[in-house]
Amino acid sequence: MALENLISVTFTEDELNKLTKGLQIVKEVLSNKTVNLTPEQRGQYGRIANQNKLIVDKAKNYMEQHPDWIPRFLDKEEFDRDYTTRKQVETHVQQLQNLSQQLLDTKTLLDHDNYTNALSFYRMMRFLAGENEPGAKPVYEDMKLLFKRSSSTNNDEGSNT
């Protein structure tokens, strides 16, 4: 019985070069403009939820209408720069997350296809080793080591994914 191939995709060298160059351009543009927070910092600052975005939008709108109400200690020019840049960044984050998810999903299907085929090959090696096919036993024994579990169960059927 033939195995179901979930995905079949290839990239040309030109496509891979374009992808690499595109990512390099993105990295160059973001260089010295982005930060990497520690996990603790991410927890400290969190994310702004939709409700809080509405608060920011509403405050900005009122600040525009009533500039005399803005506290003197608040740097409105910096607020406006942060506001504009956050909107610009958010648009690109959504696009990059979408592309990243597409790549991850494609990789998942490719991994599944490869693993399923590798298991079929392993089973054939087990069969051929049992039939004393010349050269099959060392291949089977070598691959069999990859299926050893740390528990006392001796399962060489490829339950590891």
pLDDT tens digits, 5-35: 999 999 999 999 999 999 999 999 999 999 9
pLDDT at res. 4: 85
Whether the model pTM is above 0.85: no
CB-CB contact of 3 with 117 (8 Å): yes
Please state, rounded to an integer, the average pLDDT across all residues of the chain: 92
- The stretch 76-89 carries a mean pLDDT of 97
DSSP, residue by residue, 81-129: HHHHHHHHHHHHHHHHHHHHHHHHHHHHHHHHHHHHHHHHHHHHHHHHH
Number of Cβ within a 10 Å radius of residue 156? 16
pLDDT of residue 48: 87
pLDDT of residue 160: 47
